[in-house]
Amino acid sequence: MIKRYLSSLALALGLAVAAAPALAAEDGEDLPPSGANVYDQASLQRGARLFFNYCVGCHSLKYVRYSRLAADLGLSEDEVMKNLNFTGAKFGETVVSHMPAEDAKGWFGKEPPDLTLEARAKGSDFIYNYLNSFYLDPSRPVGWNNTVFPNASMPNPLWELQGLQVAVHPEGKAGADAPVEKLELHTKGSMSPEEFQAATRDLTAFLEYTAEPAALERQSIGVWVLLFLAGLTFLLYLLKHEYWKDVHEHH
């Protein structure tokens, strides 16, 4: 019975672990992995700082409250309200962009999407590679294009950090419709390529967190559940051993 119980537990854990990567790589299975770690609190804090400094001007997180961010990211109310809240929202309110919807539609052709569930919809690998794949394209209305999401209507919000990338086309091919062979850094930004990749990894981790904040709590609870099951299994083993001891002695 004990062996059967342990086998079932191991199978359940194995299925859970095996299923996790499939969800994250739904849209980005052919893309390089992001390496984002949603359980790294320091990374989440850095990612939050990037989001609120470079993204919240256009994008909202309508399903995340400032108070929840403080609790999950290990920040005080004062730190959140001073460093992350630029709209005058209350501590218990959700994160809403301060750009009027009509202005956004006028500039970009449509209202920028809410990003709360973006990591669940696109996958972390997609977000990370998307943030690293902007390049200058004069043929586009906003002057930018993206190799991961071609003809995106969004300009590169992190260009000051990354610098300006240009597309390199195969020899003999040019023009707006020519395929992009690779991207080259034309003008350096305030970060080195390695520093920028680390920054976008942090931002990706933060967006992965906003898509499922309960994941952090679930992991902490899961550790205690596994410890409880391990202790219970040990007690059941002792009980079995004590019960069968008398049976063996009589034989």
3-state secondary structure of 243: helix
Q: What share of the chain is helix, strand, coil (3-state, %, to 5)?
A: 55, 10, 35
Could you tell me which residues are beta bridge partners of residue 94?
Answer: 65
Report yes or no: 6 and 234 within 8 Å, Cβ to Cβ. Answer: no
Rounded CA-CA distance 185/162 in Å is 9
55 is in an annotated binding site: yes
Q: Is 59 annotated as belonging to a binding site?
A: yes
DSSP per residue, 215-227? HHHHHHHHHHHHH
Close Cβ partners of 229 (under 8 Å, ≥ 6 residues apart): 9
Give the C-alpha distances (Å, rounded to integers) separating 189 from 76, 159, 164.
32, 7, 7
3-class DSSP state for residue 179?
A: coil
User: Strand, helix or coil at 49?
Assistant: helix
Separation between Cα atoms, residue 75 and residue 51, nearest integer Å: 16
Would you say 248 is a known binding-site residue? no
Q: Binding site membership for heme c: which residues?
A: 55, 58-59
Q: Binding site membership: which residues?
A: 55, 58-59
